[in-house]
Structure 1
């Protein structure tokens, strides 16, 4: 029986989701990043634990559990309020953080700010997609 379990274990673990995507506030080689990590505890579970890892080195490094949601439906918007204040929004749930002192605020204040992008599942791979900012040409007279 033990040999059968050992042989089947990789197949059981193959269906698990355990990945992350990052937004780099100061460019891809910087020390200021927000990472969303999603992980299923068991292969039969449809729910994934979603957590935020925020870092602004050397002053800030913190992991915060956010919520649980279906693994293939994780979609979290990232908004910037300026001054290292960030808001994460998933449906009706919202979290506001500040990376200067690694703080999770108890309540979200304001509208969250400017949309920076979205963390989401893209065909089984978890990615961060930057928001497309369209400029509106000024009327010329």
Structure 2
């Protein structure tokens, strides 16, 4: 019995999700980042807890619980409203935070701003993908 538990333990642990993906506002070596953490509490549950960890060191470091959703369906858009105001959007749910004073706004104001990228599951990894910005030359013909 004990040997079968030891053999099965890695299988039980591999089903759990506990990972993060980060957006670095001031480059990959900076102190200003927004990190999404998704964690599945139990291997038999499909739900995962989704949190935002915002940091702008040394003035701001805070963890905010956002929502629960299936681990494989976590997809959160990151939008920048300027002046360290960030909006996160997952379907119909939206959250707005500000990293200057490390606060979460009770209501989302405006449209959220410019799309910076998306936090999402990519196979068995959780990643941040920057938005692709296409520039149109000034002398391009109109369609």
- TM bucket (normalised to shorter chain) is over 0.9
1:28 aligned partner? 28
Please say if 1:51 is aligned against 2:51.
yes
Q: Alpha carbon RMSD of aligned pairs, Å?
A: 1.5
Equivalent residue pairs, number: 141
- Within a 5 Å distance, the mapping from 1:96-107 to structure 2 comes to 96-107=96-107
Distance, in Å, in 2 between the alignment partners of 1:81 and 1:4 is: 54
2:122 aligned partner? 122
Distance, in Å, in 1 between the alignment partners of 2:57 and 2:140 is: 46
Following TM superposition, by how much is the alpha carbon of 1:3 offset from its aligned partner in structure 2, in angstroms?
5.3
Give SS of 2:8's match: helix
Query: Where does structure 2 lack aligned partners over 5 or more consecutive residues?
Result: none
Residue by residue over 1:94-140, the C-alpha shift from the partner in whole angstroms, topping out at 9 and shown as x without a partner, is 00000001100000000000000000001121000000001111136
- Residues 1:121 and 1:140: Cα distance change in structure 2 (over 3 Å): closer
Q: Which runs of 4+ in 1 moved over 2 A?
A: 1-10
Please say if 1:71 is aligned against 2:89.
no
1:5 aligned partner? 5
- Residues 1:128 and 1:140: Cα distance change in structure 2 (over 3 Å): closer
Give SS of 2:136's match: coil
TM-score with structure 2 setting the length: 0.93
Please say if 1:60 is aligned against 2:55.
no
Query: Where does structure 1 lack aligned partners over 5 or more consecutive residues?
Result: none
Following TM superposition, by how much is the alpha carbon of 1:34 offset from its aligned partner in structure 2, in angstroms?
0.2
Give SS of 2:12's match: helix
